[in-house]
Amino acid sequence: MFASEERFFELVFAGVPPTRMTQIFPTSESYRSHLQYLAGVGVVRGPQAAGTGVLFATYFAVAKVVVDFVALEARAIFNLRAANAFAERDVRVSTFSISELLKSLGSLRGAITFVEADLLNFFYQLAIPQWMERLVALQIGERREEYTATVLPMGWDRSCRVAQAITVGGVGHRLVEEDTLGLPQEAAQEALPPSLLELNWRGAWGLLAVIYDTIFVAVTNEELANLWEERIRRNFAFLRLELKYLRKTRATCFDGIEVRRGRPRRRRVTTIVRAHRNQS
């Protein structure tokens, strides 16, 4: 840990011992550019801002246990109020609408292969209590299959930008002599890259999207899909960021919602509501 970051830990990490940190500093210009952006908007400060950004990456990647409301104070890593006050300026993220995504996919001709990945433990999450399950139930597809979300992300208001900066930097990382795999390097190195990046590789076309900590690649060439799958696996292993999943398929739908199949457990809901009324 750098001496200049002692106050940073005091403000943000609420007593977590710095000996748990593993410092990683890749040579990727793409990765550094995003960390410099975080420094520029006040998420990280000081002469070692890029190094601090890497420490963010490491902390987001450590294994976290999904916790319940009772255990929250004992398990929380962040002092959220201090962390929110620490960043002085607004932090933007790159987003896109479903219509923009469909329009881009519609412009691709031929069979499309998808590569999808999501990072594990990027956001701290709370287990949803059973009484809340009926409020977050999902119906998916014409078959009206029912799913219930099992966790809710909780709220450091800069975490989305940190996640996206780290993820985009990780995807764009390559050695100098390596193939770009169709990714326009000038766009990949921007502080805030476009929401959707077009890929052009040896006559094959595709698109790459990063939304928070989810990676989505759609290409018209099976070989290119294989190369992107391997690049993503290698890069995040190098950065020591664990992937929740990495899959290649011909049909996909990407999201970061933790769900289980089935209806909410309504019987338990009734019991808890009655208990609450009795207490009042």
The stretch 74-97 carries a mean pLDDT of: 51
Specify the pLDDT at position 267. Answer: 38
Q: What whole-number percentage of the chain has pLDDT above 90?
A: 13
Q: What whole-number percentage of the chain has pLDDT above 70?
A: 36
Q: Which two tokens stand for residue 189?
A: 């190195």
Distances (CA, A) of 88 to 39, 43, 83, 92, 205: 11, 8, 10, 13, 40
Closest CA to 216 of 141, 125, 139, 113: 113
Provide the residue ranges of all domains of the chain, joining segments of one domain with +: 3-86, 98-261
Q: 29: buried, middle or exposed (CB in 10 Å: 19+, 13-18, 0-12)? A: middle
Q: Which CATH architecture has domain 98-261?
A: 2-Layer Sandwich (3.30)
Specify the pLDDT at position 184. Answer: 82
Specify the pLDDT at position 109. Answer: 79
How many C-beta atoms lie closer than 10 Å to residue 262's C-beta?
12
Ranking 75-79, 91-95, 132-136, 168-172 by mean pLDDT, the lowest is: 75-79
d(CA 196, CA 96): 7
Specify the pLDDT at position 261. Answer: 64
What residue ranges in the chain does DSSP mark as E strands?
Answer: 113-119, 125-127, 137-140, 145-149, 151-153, 196-201, 204-211, 214-219, 243-249, 259-261
Specify the pLDDT at position 134. Answer: 66
Give residue for tokens 């208990």.
275
**3-class SS at 81?**
helix
Q: How far apart are the first and last CA of the chain?
A: 50
Residues ≥6 apart with Cβ < 8 Å to 16:
9, 59, 77
